[in-house]
Amino acid sequence: MRAKLAGRARLAALAAVAIALAGCTYTVTVTQSAPTSYDYPIAPTPWPNGTVGASGLRINPSLLANVPINVGGSPLIEDVIQELQALDDPAYSTAFISYYAARINDIASPNWLLVTLEERRPDAQNEEFYAQWRDGWFGVACSQAGGLDSASVESINGWQVDIGACNGGVTAYVLALDNGVLVSAMDLGPRRLGRQLIQGIP
């Protein structure tokens, strides 16, 4: 088990999610980043009114209103590096209107959380797209964590949540909110911060 958990440090690698939308296949790249000088706390955000990338994707801080800003007594920290990767990938703007990323701690910590919020475009608000995003997210979470061990659906605080358990101890979560926003999270550690995050969604 200790050897498996040691693999969390390798989550800093790039991972690709292949998603089909409207008959077109494209790739969304998710980057796990170690803390740097570019990490900012929730207040003040580096982009208080949002910012729009070259492809039209908006980094939208107001998406944070969909989840609790403190989880297990720790504040979510905006993950600017993750957001910059999304802005640089035109595939994100094909599927999403706006996007926001945040985390608690880094992947070398005993308890770690990454959460991304995706506001879907109308043609991405269907079960086919959701299933493809979910499977891709599980693949990203488990790509450097020993592969996917199991997948299940569980009710957490009244929300139907897809959960992927990786062999290396990482757990991935995906749920669709009623307003068209996806909550995609992954965590590591006994506190299961991703589960706590979902438990705090009203």
Joined together, the tokens standing for residue 84 give 């910059």
Rounded Cα distance between 87 and 54, Å, is 7
* Residue span of the structural domain in which 90 resides: 2-199
Give dist(CA 98, CA 84) in Å, integer.
Answer: 13
Under a CB-based contact definition with an 8 Å cutoff, are residues 161 and 200 in contact? no
Q: Residue 197's closest CA among 159, 169, 168? A: 159
Please give the tally of structural domains in the chain: 1
pLDDT per residue of the chain (202 residues) written in tens, 0 to 9: 323 333 333 333 333 343 333 333 434 444 444 333 334 343 445 555 567 776 789 999 999 999 999 999 999 999 998 998 898 888 899 999 999 999 999 888 999 999 999 999 999 999 999 999 999 999 999 998 999 999 999 999 999 999 999 999 999 999 999 999 999 999 999 999 999 999 999 9
